[in-house]
Amino acid sequence: MDYILTTMELGYRTGSFFILLGLVLILLFVIADTAKIIDVRLLIGGALLIAVGIFIRRRYAISERPRSERFRVLRRIFRKKEKK
């Protein structure tokens, strides 16, 4: 399958990756805190990655997703019923 990501899609997915990575770091901080091994770098790094991820996602936001072609037969049937 030849699927090539556009710059907008790649930027949006990269932002999502940074947010996910930031959440993992914050989760590691919470786990380390419960084990009484406090490393503030995990918290700060997680917060920074989440901030960068949100910035990237907003910058490359996909304004309109393509309309799904699923259930097109059902849509056609419901449109015919509405016209009657």
Distance from C-alpha of 62 to C-alpha of 79, rounded to nearest angstrom: 28
19-28 pLDDT per residue, tens: 999 999 999 9
Q: What angle do CA 77, 82, 84 make, to 5 degrees?
A: 100
The predicted model scores a pTM of: 0.68
11-53 pLDDT per residue, tens: 888 999 999 999 999 999 999 999 999 899 999 999 999 999 9
